[in-house]
Chain A
Amino acid sequence: MEQNTQQTVENEKKGLRKLFGKFHLETKELVLLWIFLGIFILMSIISPGRFLSVYNLQSMAYQFPEFGILALSMMVIIVTGGINLSITYSATLASILGAVVMVSMNKAGAPELASVLVGVFIIIVASLVTGAVNGLIVAHIGIVPMLATLGTMTLFEGISLNITKGGAISGFPNMFQWFGNSSIIGIPVPLFIFVLVIIATYFILQRSTFGAKVYMIGCNPTATRFSGINVKKTLFLLYVYSGLLTGLAGLVMASRYNSAKESYGYTYLLQSVSAAVLGGTDISGGFGKVFGTVISVLILQVISSGLNIFGVNRFITDVIMGMILILVLTINFINNKREEKALVTKKIVTA
């Protein structure tokens, strides 16, 4: 009797999973989506005039893409069981290099479009190079990602400081502002870039054989190597991709702030780890969904904007963010325990 009810419950669960499986949203992501909607509605009810205003929604839409792109560049690395501490300095180094060229071309009287195109090209190439440096050290030399990227983080910061001498580079052609401050049919360009990044990352990570290899490396690199997969090459390419994403984030940031400086976006570093982990990415690798990270970026943005509107002190916002992180992981822990127990009792019942 008990077994029957259990089976029906399981069948129902399977049905649900099938239904949502179509959209590749698993239960964890679904829960996050509900939390996001809940917080959004709550904020809207508490302060309808200000939170739900067009102005606030638009300013949020300009704000979170740079954070979201960086969070995804962190998340793809965490999936392999690594971490990339160099993301923010890689972003700013790329944008500084692009900025230097762009500004000098602008001063030399080159046409705006040409200098912007060259600048963007250099930002992208530079970010690919920073990614390749990380990939070389992690995949080919074999240094633990945390240390390798700690080293490159200081290195990139040093190079950036050497170029800027501690100041900010400004004086871009006006056209460059397009990437951070304009909109296409009402959609801000940064958001547009972010959506493209989400789609690209989704297909690379969850829809391709390359992505399957990445998850396998995160689960067990040795077993992956023995099953005939080129772990070094996969890891290297993934770090290059992570670097490319930091370049896009750097592009958006430089354009939004209309200047380039090495410390821009530094606070995003640890926040992007939080976003990835909140989004269900396993810090020891092997699990993690693009949508989970994206939704948790949205949650974090809504909370911080909302609290800002309510006039909550910025530092208290930090405290709340930290508490949410720990709370979610505690809930995960309790859930895991309960599942384990359920598994044990199920075994006993079937036995």
Chain B
Amino acid sequence: MSDVMAAPRAKVEEKLFQNRYLVDAGRPHIKVKPHTTPSASLMSMVTLCPAGCYSQTEGGQVEVAADGCLECGTCRIVTRKTGEVEWNYPRGGFGVLYKFG
């Protein structure tokens, strides 16, 4: 049995450099609401976000940096019940611009 963690792999940050984005500076389309302890759902986004936008701070809170967002909507669906994430589409024309899709 090979282990998924042992497989050679490219980092997600490097992959995002291949993509085109038009970042709406100062107007992030995803926000994490202020919290002291994240729910299990919100915590799961640290590994689940395919663009690696979520991370945990030293204080244990979960934060999001949405510049590399692929607009899949996974975090919105996963945190639907806890309501910890405020999710909107970017303003028209902004966000990821797929060249191939």
Q: Do the two chains belong together in a single complex? A: no
Residues of A within 8 A of B (CB): none
List chain B positions with a Cβ less than 8 A from chain A: none
